[in-house]
Structure 1
Amino acid sequence: MSSRITLNRLMALMTLVFGLVLLWRQMLPTSPQLAVARPPLGVEGTTQTPKLGDLPTHPAIPRIIHQTWAEGTIPSQFTPWVRSWMAQNPSWEYWFWTDADIHCFMQHHFPAYLGLYDSYHHNINRADIMRYFVLYTHGGLYADLDMECVRPMDAVVLPHTCVLTEENHAHTYVVQHRASPANVINCLMGCRPGHPYFLDVIRELPVQKVKGNDGNVLDQTGPFLIDRVLRRYLNASSQRPSEDSVSVLPPVYFSMRFDPMQLPYLKKSCVNTTGLSTDAQHVCRHLVDSKFVNVLDPEAVADHHWQHTYWNMPGFMSRPQDSVTDIARLIARHFNTTPTHSTPPTHTCYTPKLKFGPFR
């Protein structure tokens, strides 16, 4: 009898928790009250086949590059990579978000999500989700600080309304043993403001938080999260208007080189490919034939340097962390410009304090 009562109580508790999750989702704003262009939700649609074409006269993705760090000084190893985004894209604006900028932005423009933002145990979770809220609100191109721009972004990014990139296939198929199609990665993403895909990502965040997984950043707020939402988004309808499409580019453009830390594992895995998937075997053949040479493709527009700063482990920062560069001074010195302060007083924290460009 007591075991039956315990089971009944457990089932009642699970039902209550599930009900609270549903209620929480309903209480969260379905379309945050922001002055951004936003299509109606639930529109049937299709996804575009990724292709590079002529630049649109009025691209949907605004020419804004977003990057973030805890404060306005960054580890000096990032300096040339940060500079590369402005040097290669002089017609774009550059917005640098600090933790204080983001917290104020969330507090004033997404107050229903501020508690969620503050509840994460790891800074990387907050760094993950800020890019989703910023891209949904402002649009533009987000890039991690360890991403280097090697060619202008216009021809690859601007033909699309929202563009993601697959992770390096050696990681996806050999290291992670994932099935095709390759998962997307969140180190570099571009989108128009108000795109429903990123609204779906935002709505998924509290669901994953309730599920737990606090120790699994990739699942809770990172690449695996946005990949799951993407598959659901693509499968939801085949009749979406073109402005709601999502293009997924192969890693050749944004993330061609594999993480050097994975080289020993890749070499070991590719010695005997028996038991590996067809995709993994194909990747291994390419790696072995190329003698595991890790070079960029001529078509690449960005290079991922795989710094892993979020791991908070020794050995990942190739230079002392107390060697820092001030972002404002860096840009003033190399581009002869100062931050623009154009945020309207009625839109507190709508944009970061450090805004620069265009640079021509």
Structure 2
Amino acid sequence: MLFAVIALISLALAVRYLFHNSNATDLQKILQNLPKEISQSINYANTIQSTDSDLVQHFEKLAQEIRHQQDVQAKQFDKQRKILEKKIQDLKQTPPEATLRERIAFTFPYDSHAKFPAFIWQTWSNDQSPESVQDIKGMWESKNPGFAHEVLNHDVINALVHHYFYSIPEILETYEALPSVILKIDFFKYLILLVHGGVYADIDTFPVQPIPNWIPEELSPSDIGLIVGVEEDAQRADWRTKYIRRLQFGTWIIQAKPGHPILREIIAQIIETTLQRKKDDQLSVNLRNDLNIMSWTGSGLWTDTIFTYFNDFMRSGVRGKGHMEIIP
């Protein structure tokens, strides 16, 4: 429209000039051609405006294509970075004289000030219906939006163990040697938390409150590396018939940062016990007795490992907050 207005003003000035410098005949001719001149001026202005609009659209499309290319390149760079980091990690070699615990610590280092990863890990077997598993999965996800939630079957678990621990053959040998699915699942929960951290929860558990609320407000998450719950604080005289320890910590729900020393220690102990049993041809035990499971891979060994960690911490003379929280 701006071009049309300018054209009309120019035309008016031309008419005024000709009016003063031309005779009546010339003026009549000009007036006759006036509608044609106005139409041409308007059409020219519309053509210019249309061209400008097409040019703007072209630039917008070009900008979108550039942004898309930048996003694709950024994803490719990130993927290449991860591949390069993995190759660098693979090239790192522990000293030949390194112990099992040192190799685990080297491969899966612990950062006490890191954040708790937003992962939820659960396992299930074919004995459970898909509907019930989905219901439980939905409860965890509704309480914890934004968390990555994985429910893994035995085939996936087996693949993950071989993927993450190919550089520590003792772990693979132990996993294969464990004589039951229950023992393998116990072992796996420590392994997956060692690698990724987050929350492991048995498939028959459900959240009473969101995971971020598990840490009391007066405590900083950077001061805590592991959260466990009390499985039993036995008051009965015959507690030994059902539990390994009078005060026993549960393994049905664990929250941890990757590489936590307690995870490293319990994994090492399970390896040592299992490989010794294999060497002595004593892998076949009565697994219908829960106490055998508790002492091999379960809450009994878990409790002893935690208390040993506490005792070592106390003996170290270090003062201040520890890196573990117990939920009643």
TM-score range, shorter chain: 0.5 to 0.7
C-alpha distance in structure 2 between counterparts of 1:63 and 1:156, whole Å: 13
C-alpha distance in structure 2 between counterparts of 1:172 and 1:144, whole Å: 26
Is the CA contact 1:163–1:248 (under 8 Å) kept in the aligned structure 2? yes
Q: Please provide the CA RMSD for this pair.
A: 3.4
* Alpha-carbon offset, residue 35 of structure 1: 6.8
Is the CA contact 2:101–2:265 (under 8 Å) kept in the aligned structure 1? no
Pair 1:248-2:326 in alignment:
yes
Pair 1:169-2:233 in alignment:
yes
Equivalence for 1:156: 214
Q: Which segments of 5 or more consecutive residues in structure 1 lack a partner in the other structure?
A: 1-24, 41-57, 251-360
C-alpha distance in structure 1 between counterparts of 2:231 and 2:105, whole Å: 33
Compared with structure 1, are the counterparts of its residues 72 and 137 closer, same or farther at alpha carbon in structure 2 (3 Å cutoff)?
farther
Equivalence for 1:223: 299
Equivalence for 1:84: 139
Is the CA contact 2:118–2:148 (under 8 Å) kept in the aligned structure 1? yes
SS at match of 2:103: coil
* Alpha-carbon offset, residue 173 of structure 1: 6.9
Compared with structure 1, are the counterparts of its residues 95 and 184 closer, same or farther at alpha carbon in structure 2 (3 Å cutoff)?
same
Q: Percent identity?
A: 21
C-alpha distance in structure 2 between counterparts of 1:102 and 1:172, whole Å: 38
| 1:222-249 residue CA offsets vs partner (Å, 9 max, x unmatched) | 1111111111111112356989722222
| 1:305-357 residue CA offsets vs partner (Å, 9 max, x unmatched) | xxxxxxxxxxxxxxxxxxxxxxxxxxxxxxxxxxxxxxxxxxxxxxxxxxxxx
Compared with structure 1, are the counterparts of its residues 235 and 84 closer, same or farther at alpha carbon in structure 2 (3 Å cutoff)?
same
Is the CA contact 2:233–2:246 (under 8 Å) kept in the aligned structure 1? no
Is the CA contact 2:196–2:258 (under 8 Å) kept in the aligned structure 1? yes
C-alpha distance in structure 2 between counterparts of 1:164 and 1:125, whole Å: 19
* Alpha-carbon offset, residue 80 of structure 1: 2.3
Equivalence for 1:199: 264
Question: Looking at both structures, which has the greater relative contact order when contacts are Cα pairs under 8 Å and sequence separation is at least 6?
Answer: 1
* Alpha-carbon offset, residue 98 of structure 1: 2.3
* Alpha-carbon offset, residue 37 of structure 1: 4.3
| 1:225-282 residue CA offsets vs partner (Å, 9 max, x unmatched) | 11111111111123569897222222xxxxxxxxxxxxxxxxxxxxxxxxxxxxxxxx
Aligned partner of 1:190 among 255, 277, 290: 255
Is the CA contact 1:65–1:140 (under 8 Å) kept in the aligned structure 2? yes
Compared with structure 1, are the counterparts of its residues 39 and 173 closer, same or farther at alpha carbon in structure 2 (3 Å cutoff)?
farther
Which stretch shows the higher mean deviation, 157-166 or 83-92? Answer: 157-166
Equivalence for 1:300: none
C-alpha distance in structure 1 between counterparts of 2:148 and 2:188, whole Å: 18
SS at match of 1:247: strand
C-alpha distance in structure 2 between counterparts of 1:243 and 1:36, whole Å: 23
One-letter code of the match for 2:100?
L
C-alpha distance in structure 2 between counterparts of 1:129 and 1:243, whole Å: 29
* Alpha-carbon offset, residue 109 of structure 1: 2.0
Is the CA contact 1:163–1:191 (under 8 Å) kept in the aligned structure 2? yes
Which one has the largest radius of gyration? 2
Is the CA contact 2:244–2:294 (under 8 Å) kept in the aligned structure 1? no
SS at match of 2:269: helix
Question: Whose helix proportion is higher, 1 or 2?
Answer: 2
Is the CA contact 2:234–2:246 (under 8 Å) kept in the aligned structure 1? no
* Alpha-carbon offset, residue 92 of structure 1: 1.4
Is the CA contact 1:60–1:192 (under 8 Å) kept in the aligned structure 2? yes
Is the CA contact 1:172–1:183 (under 8 Å) kept in the aligned structure 2? no
SS at match of 1:147: coil
C-alpha distance in structure 1 between counterparts of 2:133 and 2:235, whole Å: 23
C-alpha distance in structure 1 between counterparts of 2:308 and 2:163, whole Å: 30
* Alpha-carbon offset, residue 70 of structure 1: 3.7
Q: Which segments of 5 or more consecutive residues in structure 2 lack a partner in the other structure?
A: 1-96, 287-291
Equivalence for 2:193: 135
Equivalence for 2:72: none
One-letter code of the match for 2:186?
D
Is the CA contact 1:34–1:137 (under 8 Å) kept in the aligned structure 2? no
- Note the 1:1-360 alignment, pairs <5 A: 28=100, 30-32=102-104, 36-38=108-110, 60-70=115-125, 74-111=129-166, 112=169, 113-157=171-215, 159=221, 160-169=224-233, 175-176=239-240, 182-209=247-274, 210-211=276-277, 212=282, 214-215=285-286, 216-238=292-314, 239=316, 245-250=323-328
